[in-house]
Structure 1
């Protein structure tokens, strides 16, 4: 796309800044209603939905889809949720529908809308709280990354997806857990707020992958001591390695194998890493992410036996019968 010159028209700059997408009102102010109708009749421009025009007749690019979504809702709409998080760099999650957020006073209620073929569905949400500091001046405007992740967790299809969103945002270094906690802390009506805060605090404690967060929750649920996460250890070659979970006092090392361990190359690399960081006397246990999630009692029993064999003694629980 050609960058306009200083002496180009207001419309040229508007089309450049909005990826060739404008509202009818914007185009009419820059030209005139008659000229806009002429461009549409001549096939040089295309109407994608009521009130939104694209200054070419072809298919929409992803940036243009986002502009159509925002302008079709209203001038106070912003990209939000997974859509805004993806624009900030989040990987591994669905791209549709496009999530748009508007103030609660907006006449459009929470809804899913489909525009013309070739345009993803648009899901509109309303909010009573959107402080200026939670909005990012991007093109189009979107919620900041921490707010986007908190909203995405609230709008997720399940608790597991919500935890995955928060964990991925922290693991991919898009936000710090403290930022998630700060945003969720002021959104008292946010859906799944307790889950979001709990997941962010686990990430704050060193857990990065969702499997590690699930592991910390398992230890808490079965009253096992909390391990150190991402423990640093140098191998024989002097390279820094990271242990998923380690109880230093009892010299128990746990590795949590995610889906990537299905790849033989990753599996062998992890075995080499484990052998290189292993020290005489350490106990090493490995669990899959699926075991931790679907067979937690079995995992907890094995951990309990290993910790007990190493000298750990459960703290007595008083007050019972």
Structure 2
């Protein structure tokens, strides 16, 4: 059966904390977001009682062995429960799904990725669920708290990058992990070191090194790669600077020796308020004597020669010998 759900917003039905005297089934449904396996239901209810709930529409069977104890829309969190319960007791959330459960934003919620030990038997899965096997899954890789069980943030980002559809998506996932403060420092390097056959090893390590150094978005990473290919000096990324009002600002890229500042404009700059905030910051920089170049994110990919030509000219005008 295909899984269909809404966003991760609160469900339409009431899921208040059960009373202290609530029975075990009520607590189970509370902890598992109103999702339970058929085996769990049979431990608390007779077969007749289960059939009655399904026949009257109070419950729904969303998979051969998984039930939802309501008749409303299925949320993103509930879909994750359906996936792990359908896959069996050793299944945990992995990759991008685990990262999203831990707070990563900006990526589609489907398919749902689960991780299984290589030796375990896999149950039949609902449509929209992908199972991955691993021979390396230690206690360091599994989050000790939180349900359903999932991989630790760093392992989740590494797996999401190696399972990504292409290199660009893999780099975007790694960058998002640092930008959204899900991982930091050498977290990803430690995971890659203990995974002997991880795909995109060098891409993950290089992207993590750049992201930890301050390039927190995919356009910033692409800009840094362009700089290196062109033989230009490497700028400082995400440098902190105070504006005229004393507020802390982060510069996307700053060639400090020559006081050339690069701003990479993403989709947020279609917002007039954000645009004006950026113009104020630009004016502050010009007042102090810096040179400021602004490039839309798409130009770094589609017009790299023009970006390099303008940047080279600005650096030479500021005194860079070339």
Same fold per TM (> 0.5)?
Answer: yes
Bin of the TM-score, shorter chain as denominator length:
0.7 to 0.9
Of the candidates 87, 96, 110, which is equivalent to residue 73 of structure 1?
Answer: 87
Of the candidates 156, 162, 167, which is equivalent to residue 154 of structure 1?
Answer: 162
- 1:94 and 2:135 correspond: no
Of the candidates 150, 165, 169, which is equivalent to residue 177 of structure 2?
Answer: 169
Mark the CA change 1:113 to 1:15 in structure 2 (over 3 Å): closer, same or farther. Answer: closer
| Whole-Å separation in 2 of the counterparts to 1:58 and 1:264 | 39
Of the candidates 290, 293, 318, which is equivalent to residue 310 of structure 1?
Answer: 318
Q: 1:58 Cα deviation (Å)? A: 4.1
| Whole-Å separation in 2 of the counterparts to 1:234 and 1:21 | 50
Of the candidates 196, 200, 222, which is equivalent to residue 188 of structure 1?
Answer: 196
- 5+ residue gaps in structure 1? 115-120, 315-321
| Whole-Å separation in 2 of the counterparts to 1:274 and 1:231 | 15
Mark the CA change 1:60 to 1:260 in structure 2 (over 3 Å): closer, same or farther. Answer: closer
Mark the CA change 1:18 to 1:240 in structure 2 (over 3 Å): closer, same or farther. Answer: closer
Q: Which has the higher contact order (CA 8 A, sep 6+)?
A: 2
Match of 1:132 in 2: 139
| Whole-Å separation in 2 of the counterparts to 1:112 and 1:43 | 23
Match of 2:245 in 1: 237
**Following superposition of structure 1 onto structure 2, how do residues 30-45 of structure 1 map, counting pairs within 5 Å?**
30-33=44-47, 35-37=49-51, 39-41=53-55, 43-45=57-59
| Whole-Å separation in 2 of the counterparts to 1:87 and 1:282 | 42
| Whole-Å separation in 1 of the counterparts to 2:94 and 2:39 | 24
Q: 1:44 Cα deviation (Å)? A: 4.1
Mark the CA change 1:283 to 1:2 in structure 2 (over 3 Å): closer, same or farther. Answer: closer
SS at match of 2:74: coil
- 1:142 and 2:150 correspond: yes
RMSD over aligned CA atoms reads 2.4
Show CA shifts across 1:219-250 (max 9, x none): 12222211111222222333322222111212
Q: TM-score, normalised by structure 2?
A: 0.85
Of the candidates 287, 296, 307, which is equivalent to residue 304 of structure 2?
Answer: 296
Deviates more, 1:88-97 or 1:270-279: 270-279
| Whole-Å separation in 1 of the counterparts to 2:194 and 2:288 | 49
Q: TM-score, normalised by structure 1?
A: 0.86
**Following superposition of structure 1 onto structure 2, how do residues 103-122 of structure 1 map, counting pairs within 5 Å?**
103-108=117-122, 113-114=126-127, 121-122=128-129
Show CA shifts across 1:104-163 (max 9, x none): 113349x9841xxxxxx2121112212212212322111122221221112222211111
Q: 1:272 Cα deviation (Å)? A: 1.5
1:82/1:94 contact within 8 Å kept: no
- 5+ residue gaps in structure 2? 1-14
| Whole-Å separation in 1 of the counterparts to 2:53 and 2:157 | 40
- 1:123 and 2:130 correspond: yes
Regions of 4+ moved over 6 Å: none
Q: 1:304 Cα deviation (Å)? A: 2.5
- 1:13 and 2:20 correspond: no
Match of 1:118 in 2: none
